[in-house]
Amino acid sequence: MSFIDLLINEVDKGLKYSTQNYQTDRRPYPAEKVEQGPLNEFEKNHSAGLMRVNHSGEVCAQALYRGQAITAKLIDTKDKMEQAASEELDHLSWCNNRLEELDSKPSLLNPIWYCMSFSIGAIAGLIGDKWSLGFVHETEEQVVKHLDGHLDKLSVKDLKTRSVIEQMRIDEEKHSQDALEAGAEILPNEIKGLMSKVAKVMTDSSYHI
Ligand SMILES: [Fe+2]
Ligand SMILES: [Fe+2]
């Protein structure tokens, strides 16, 4: 593919993942067979806010991995990033499902998060594969902590949302470990701190908008 073809392909994917109700049937939806009682209005809105944040996180994951795949130098790293992006598509689809069940919608800000994360991913890839993998390791670590927070904040009655978050947490922990095993460099604390500040802007706004 020429660079222009590649760019058009990436813009198309970016638009699709950040604005469409993306669905996949690669792995079953974790909440499919989970039974639960009705939620009150507050619980429902709160779960929707949390799932909107998780959905935006998955949009960012797509962008980060795809951005890194474009600039990674080693073929093996490129393949790993593409493989991870395709695994994350299940999460994107599950978040869409749960948002629909909660009569809610994904964040309107997703195209902005996609562009921002794609650029960050591409820059990380340019710096070097070890650092790029280090960036993945740290991102996934922060996502795991963040999902733990959601499990605490979620209504105990919302078993469906819980089942989705729990499965995502298992997968993200594996992604973090995989990056480490593939040769990730541990990022300096300053970069880790900056990453959590950027993530906070995203999570605070996607909860509401
Ligand atoms: Fe994910
Ligand atoms: Fe992940």
Residue numbers of the domain that contains 166: 39-208
Per-residue pLDDT band for 48 (boundaries 50, 70, 90) equals very high
Give 122-163 pLDDT, tens digit per residue.
888 888 888 888 988 999 999 999 999 999 999 999 999 999
Within-domain flag for 21: no
* Ligand 1 centroid to residue 81 C-alpha, Å: 13
CATH of the domain at 174: 1.20.1260.10
Residue 103 covered by a domain? yes
Among 143, 159, 133, 120, residue whose Cα is nearest residue 196: 143
Q: Could you tell me the pTM of the whole model?
A: 0.88
Q: What amino acid occupies position 105? A: K
* pLDDT above 70: percentage of residues in the chain: 100
Residue 18 lies in a domain: no
- Asked whether residue 29 is domain-assigned, the answer is no
Q: Count Cβ atoms below 10 Å from residue 190 Cβ, excluding itself.
A: 8
User: Is 73 within a domain?
Assistant: yes
Instruction: Name the domain count of the chain.
Output: 1
User: Is residue 177 domain-resident?
Assistant: yes
16 within a domain of the structure (yes/no): no
CA 208, chain centre distance (Å): 18
Q: Is residue 34 part of a domain?
A: no
CA of 61 to the centre of ligand 1 (A): 6
- Å from CA of 143 to ligand 2 middle: 8
